Structure 1
């Protein structure tokens, strides 16, 4: 992104604000004349751009300081196809707490009329409608403050300044457990920890990904440590090895993105400590030194990687990778030059573009390089490390294409996870898809579509759990049959103990009791569904497939001692009140990946509880 600041252009009439529509105005269409008497700051941005997000944060104190005299208008001129989707823009405006009117400019009409060349660009228009200042890039707060102060003084003296409220109308605040979650990791307990980014906190869920165990954080934007911690749009999460966690006194490292900090969380009581960063954004100078004394810039994800001996940081804000040593407390540059682009080679000479997702693959550290729509990795190379690219060609090539890696296309991926078979799942965020890269063949395929901005993923008991960020929830979008193939031969890697069952014929029973005050919804046919598959595929002689009965007779093959049963069950229930004409209905769904071991002394019945109690056990 350009950082060139242009000189003021005297007495240039500001062009009209033209676009598809407006957000944050209560539905009102605005024109340039509606801002007469105010100092107007136009912020040309696109929501994929980390520099643009920095500017949003820089503008907040100015908007508060000059609330009566200044109106900020965001002009959203998209780079990626997904960013031109009005629903995606509306989600981004909420996600990033944009509290001023936003003009939707999908055809870049207003962008071109103002001769904008780079994201972000700021334009100041005086109360009489003339452009008085233009600046591209970030870090212009003090310059803007000076310009605004001068314009206010000039037009107050002329009588052309009108103080008062601006046209911003806040949208109705939705209520969901998660709001634009970022990343997820599996905890040793079997629970899931999610960064609840727009709620400025972390949420621990039970293994089902729906039952809240606890929330870590007050939910208020801030940076307080201790038992009532505060975060600011936290992102990546990294679980430390047990021996390291015991030594340093915390278990999880959090990329506290907008605070430009790394935080440590002690799982025993949720206590939070600041580990690295000063709270100020790094702009230049050294980015290596003692953690609390070294500034960071928008750490987006973190991952413990044993070959590096520490926590690698996806430093989206300056297109590098950092490295944090929990034992010494030091942080340093690990890879990258801060040049935005795509260049492989020695780690210290590589170019990145908004590194946004990391995954430990053993001898490889996989990473999603979002602005180049690339999947890349770091590996040991002699006495140092090297960066390689699997998928992606540059800053402006993107799309959705499967096939050989050199022909495949992604669109702004934000997350990666290593699957049990050694392939890599890619959260192809702006394509709304989960993709798969197979290192052995170099092939890219699509595992799932229609996932609302997947931003992070984790493998839990052989199953892929995905953060559907714009849907505000966790999902398991990979179909059971596909998931079965991905975990084939790798079931021994499942950490939880296998369930012993008898050989031959076994009854599998999914237990579901409608919640109190409800009943099964049988108005339109069967209200339940059960789908079963296995890995290896030959494990089940009978019982595989889909049906409507929650109890299924299974016949296990001889000669196979262990495997995994993949079970997906769902049941629809409605409020049971005859006086209500249109009762509220809900769908309960649960997926299981059950590692089993065939034993002559094992039981002949396998119950799986989806809701209620198993009265037969």
Structure 2
């Protein structure tokens, strides 16, 4: 491995040869027709191992990045997904089976609930990609997203090298598609009630919207071709829906990174925001809506005279103003975590559900397992005068939730209650809010008047949204492919309290000084782009903040000397890194550039025998 300032990488034939560990996992294999795969079965192929977990938006981005590679090099490349869970729910085998279908994963997947292969490959972050050559040796490792171009170039090199050596085997890979299942909906995401009394549902896996009669079962019509795309009659994994004042429905077209409108009267579909490209650091974050990139908008809500967007892909809230045709950041820094305060300084972690309720906008902040809300500055504690624009006139507060690594199913006082990766929120008539507590398979309720969290219903299956219909609440049971009608009970169901922390092992670190190195090697044929200043960024923080005596904050050097505080024996180091590389061709006036970025949450435990150096690989060769 080399750091960001080292010389260009050697060609494939001179890379250090490290034998790839075997792929093992107690959950077994999916998409192989029941066959148990080994690395020996893959000999002769270029293998890309994708360590992912289905809660992670960055992992879902990488799944989409790999689709073109998967198609273009179908006869020489085999992509292997290794599902490595963060949440307890993600360790359930059926949940992995559902996720593979839900997100259109068309390659073999190893279910590794105990992180056995994750540990063998020394992986530290979701997502991580490891490239194995046709002879079974690791030749590259990349953490985060934005590496598809570099991997494609490496694959081309490997194909040339191993075709010449006679060690490349062409032909079909081991992927065997599962049998399709006939249901009216397939992993629906969000729903709303139309003025007609019918339901409109985002049928995400089938890339459509579906209108259902008031019974919630009878299909009236399907909207969209059902083929993944960005054309005038197509969607790509649509999620959030909201009614606009003019009667149209605005749709979060999630994987198209766009907002669309659907007119229930005429049937017309129109793109109103987004370019179809994913937003990256350094791109414009405000301006004409059709000229600004978005990143995985997951839900939408009409509040404070504009559309608010849960921009899950960059851990922010954005807004779209139909009157001016503009979009812009409303809250969040793009840093992943749970930090309250003025909108511009707040941190989120995959906001995935929104619900307007008077002077509050409720948020399901999924990766922190939190219920949060937006309100005008001064509304909650007398701060500010309530004036100002969207960016500086609002504050973010947390009602329920502790952070990225604490989750469970526990009722009671909000400060100690626990959720598990909620995706939906629904405003209730009494001022309380229902939470679609997705990974707990439950519908929960938070009452601001009492500060209490209770359970309304259990035995749901990955509820992702809910809507009110009279005295009933209709829940989107995503993994049961249906809408389920429940009567709002007078009293909550009581459940036994369960608390969890992520099962990842803590890294033992020595007390005092700790050297942090983020390893980045520019892809072959590229170099760091320093024409306009530093092309790298590093942000470091900790939970609890007291863990770090020195070294927190932002900078441009991928090397940082940290100092751990005395008396704090464990915590989580939050590291966010970004590097931009461009084609290294002096004759090209406009070289192609690529952004590589990743966030790490590294659990650490302080001990005398621990390491004094922490190395995190953003991109490295021969890892």
Normalising by the smaller structure, the TM-score range is 0.7 to 0.9
Alpha-carbon distance in structure 2 between the residues aligned to 1:169 and 1:220:
21
Verify the 8 A CA contact 1:262 1:274 in the aligned structure 2: yes
CA offset digits 1:30-74 (Å, max 9, x no partner): 111110000000000000000000000000000001000000000
Matched with 1:361 is: 357
Q: Distance in 1 between matches of 2:5 and 2:134?
A: 22
Q: Which of residues 241, 245, 261 in structure 1 aligns to 2:258? A: 261
From 235, 241, 246, the equivalent of 1:237 is 241
1:447 matches 2:456: yes
Residue 486 of structure 2 aligns to a residue whose secondary structure is: coil
Is 1:375 the counterpart of 2:371 in the alignment? Answer: yes
Q: Which moved more, 1:9-18 or 1:193-202?
A: 9-18
Q: Deviations over 1:332-354 (max 9, x none)?
A: 10100000000000001100000
In structure 2, how many angstroms separate the alpha carbons of the residues matched to 1:212 and 1:165?
39
Report the alpha carbon displacement of residue 171 of structure 1 after superposing the two structures with TM. Answer: 0.1
For normalisation by structure 2, the TM-score amounts to: 0.74
Structure 2 counterpart of 1:438, from 414, 439, 447: 447
Kindly provide the CA deviation profile for residues 94-142 of structure 1, in whole angstroms up to 9, marking residues without a partner as x.
Answer: 0000000000111101001000000000000001100001000001111
Answer yes or no: is 1:305 the counterpart of 2:303: yes
SS at match of 1:477: strand
Range 279-288 or range 47-56, more displaced: 279-288
SS at match of 1:64: helix
| Correspondence for 1:77 among 79, 84, 99 | 84
Provide closer, same or farther for how the CA distance between residues 326 and 5 of structure 1 changes in structure 2, counting only shifts above 3 A.
Answer: farther
Cα distance in 1, alignment partners of residues 277 and 287 from structure 2? 15
Structure 2 distance, partners of 1:175, 1:239, is 30
**Structure 2: how far apart are the matches of 1:170 and 1:478?**
39
Using the alignment, how far apart are the partners of 2:123 and 2:486 within structure 1? 40
TM-score (norm 1): 0.75
Superposed CA offset, 1:285-338 (max 9, x none):
2121111101000000000002xx200000000000010011211111010000
Q: Where do residues 163-562 of structure 1 align in structure 2 (5 Å cutoff)?
A: 163-225=170-232, 229-241=233-245, 245=246, 251-284=248-281, 285-306=283-304, 309-381=305-377, 382-383=386-387, 384-478=393-487, 482=491
Matches of 1:57 and 1:141, distance apart in 2: 10
Contact 2:75 2:171 (8 Å CA) reproduced: yes
Kindly indicate whether structure 1 or structure 2 has the higher relative contact order, using CA contacts under 8 Å at least 6 residues apart: 2
- Length, aligned pairs only: 469
| SS of residue paired to 1:300 | strand
String of CA shifts for 1:453-476, please: whole Å, max 9, x gaps.
Answer: 000111112321110000000012
- 1:124 aligns to what? 131
Counterpart CA distance in 2 for 1:389 and 1:302 is 19
- Could you tell me whether the CA contact under 8 Å between 1:319 and 1:340 is conserved in 2? yes
CA drift at 1:478: 4.4
Are residue 57 (structure 1) and residue 73 (structure 2) matched? no
Residues 292/457 of structure 1: CA separation in 2 closer, same or farther (3 Å cut): same
Matches within 5 A, 1:577-588: none
Change in CA separation of 1:147 and 1:296 when aligned onto 2, cut-off 3 Å? same
Q: Secondary structure at the match of 1:398?
A: strand
Q: Alpha-carbon deviation of 1:477?
A: 3.5
Whether the 8 Å contact between 1:294 and 1:331 is mirrored in structure 2 is yes
RMSD over aligned CA atoms reads: 1.6
Q: Distance in 1 between matches of 2:218 and 2:31?
A: 33
Distance 1:218 1:62 in 2: 25
Q: What do residues 573-594 of structure 1 show as CA deviations (whole Å, max 9, x unaligned)?
A: xxxxxxxxxxxxxxxxxxxxxx
Structure number, greater radius of gyration: 1
Answer yes or no: is the 8 Å Cα contact 2:275–2:292 preserved in 1. Answer: yes
Check if 1:13 corresponds to 2:19.
yes
| Match 2:149 to one of 137, 142, 153 | 142
Post-superposition Cα deviations, 1:60-94, rounded to whole Å, max 9, x if no partner, equal: 00000100000000000000000000000000000
Alpha-carbon distance in 1 for matches of 2:132, 2:372 = 43
